[in-house]
Amino acid sequence: MTILYIEWNSFGNEDMKEAFQAEGHTLVCFPFSNKEGRHDESVESSLMGVLRNETPDVVFSFNYFPLISNVCKKADIRYISWVYDSPYVMLYSYTVINPCNTIYVFDKELCQEFSRAGIPTVHYLPMAANPDRLDRLTTAPMPDAAPIKTAADMDIPAASPLSQQYDISFVGSLYTEKHNFFERMTSLNDYTKGYLDALMSVQMNIQGYNFIQDSLSPIMEDLYQALPMDPNADGVETREYLYAQYVINRKITGLERASLLKVITSHHTLDLFTHDRSYSLPNLVNHGPVDNVTQMPLVFKQSRINLNISLRSIKSGIPQRAFDIMGSGGFLLSNFQADFLDHFIPGEDFDYYESQADLLAKIDYYLTHDKERQAIAENGHDKLAAAHTYRHRVREMLCQI
């Protein structure tokens, strides 16, 4: 089968291309910018020309683009997209119903939302990892590892992720960077501020159900005056969706991550890998960002405990971070996401926490039960390798084409 691969600066490009080729398919790459995702006449013309010249069997992209879908509809060719971002507003483009589409989302509850709306083009497919590549990377010869750090080592400069071992690590955004929309709403009235504070406080204490979007009607006008956001011309998303998913849930996630890091560092040393280099706490080592392809897997492998604290806009899905941790042979301790239970067994392949107290208790337990923790990490890695690689996903995507 010939695949026209829409190539943009997405996560997982090389792993996905390798998987297609390993499964015996031929790739033709079409350079693309995700900023052109809705409409661009020159890109549409160029893509149509490639489709006519190359006559591929299917078009594939990470994330969904209305532009690609409309061209594929005109060319009468199947368009497969695999959405890894959450939130992802282009899923609410009216083009989603184009019959050429097969759109995969990694969040089962989100998929069911589309199904309940009578949209047959959206399907559930969890994310994946490439354990073969990760194994080669994490078992390559490295410099002698430094000893596990303690609080007494805090005056020692942070080591390279290539040569350091860690007790507890978190790799991810704190949502304190310049793209934080919430902090731009400086003109909110006192009622709206109080309403939001109460709403976010309650939501932070609830896992597995997000009510933010359904609760914004009383303050929508003030939110809009403080930070105007309008639905796209080709979209059916509501203003409530935009503010809930792109503004408030990100703020809640940032508050939650900061709160958990503070609680953990009151008892343990924690190593943080994030873009916000200014963030600091006692007993926290901020290493700044790490490269997702070459360095992040080493952090996962060399950490006794790897934390996953999911973005609040993810309803039930397993974040990519969790697959990468397990694929790298790391031990995963995550917040609860319902989709985990469809694929992995808590306490056998990974573990999850239900509260701050439970998180601290499990950190204490796993730091003192090395063999059990290592066995869980191995089980998670092996189960992922047996059923959740990019090659498995390619087969699932193409089995009905």
pLDDT computed for residue 176 by the predictor = 84
Tens-place pLDDT, residues 274-295: 999 999 999 999 999 999 999 9
CB-CB contact of 100 with 64 (8 Å): no
Query: What pLDDT was estimated at residue 138?
Result: 86
| Cα 13 to Cα 16: distance, rounded to the nearest angstrom | 5
Q: Averaged over 218-240, what is the pLDDT?
A: 95
What is residue 163's predicted lDDT score, i.e. its pLDDT? 58
Q: For residues 225-232, give the mean pLDDT.
A: 96
C-alpha distance from residue 225 to each of 161, 187, 228, 229 (Å): 45, 8, 6, 9
> Quick one: which of 302, 50, 282, 320 has its CA closest to 162?
302
Q: What is residue 365's predicted lDDT score, i.e. its pLDDT?
A: 98
In which band, very low, low, confident or very high, does the pLDDT at 145 lie, cut at 50, 70 and 90? very low
pLDDT of residue 36: 74
Asked whether the beta carbons of 45 and 84 are under 8 A apart, the reply is no
Judged against a pLDDT cut of 90, whether residue 180 lies above it is answered with: no
Task: State residue 232 phi and psi, 5-degree precision.
Answer: -75, 155
- The dihedral through the CA atoms of 130, 107, 236, 88 has a sign that is negative
CA–CA separation, 238 vs 134, rounded Å?
Answer: 40
Q: What's the pLDDT band for 200 if we cut at 50, 70, 90?
A: very high
Confidence of residue 162 (pLDDT cuts 50, 70, 90): low
pLDDT in tens, 242-277: 999 999 999 999 999 999 999 999 999 999 999 999
**CA distance linking residue 345 with residue 332, whole number of Å:** 12
Whether 72 contacts 92, CB under 8 Å: no
Do β-strands 303-308 and 332-335 pair in parallel, antiparallel, or remain unpaired?
parallel
Report whether 321 contacts 366 (CB < 8 A): no
Q: What is the pLDDT of residues 58-108, one digit of tens each?
A: 999 999 999 999 999 999 999 999 999 999 999 999 999 999 999 999 999
pLDDT band at residue 160 using 50, 70 and 90 as cut-offs? low
In the chain, what percentage of residues exceed pLDDT 70?
Answer: 94
Q: Give tens-digit pLDDT for 331-374.
A: 999 999 999 999 999 999 999 999 999 999 999 999 999 999 99
| Residues whose CB falls within 8 Å of the CB of residue 137, separated by 6 or more in sequence, listed in order | 294, 297, 298, 328
Q: Is the pLDDT of residue 147 over 60?
A: no
What pLDDT digit, counting tens, does each position of 101-136 carry? Answer: 999 999 999 999 999 999 999 999 999 999 999 999
Question: What pLDDT sits at residue 81?
Answer: 98
pLDDT at residue 157, as a whole number? 39
Helix (H) or strand (E) run with residue 128 in it: none
- Checking if the pLDDT of 161 tops 70, the result is no
Instruction: Give SS3 for 364.
Output: helix
Angle in degrees, CA 160, 318, 351, rounded to 5: 75
Average pLDDT, the chain: 93
Q: In the chain, what is the straight-line distance between the N-terminal and C-terminal CA atoms, in Å?
A: 10
Amino acid letter at 12?
G
Q: How high is the pLDDT of residue 209?
A: 87
Q: Name the CA dihedral angle for 147, 149, 150, 151, rounded to a multiple of 10 degrees.
A: 150
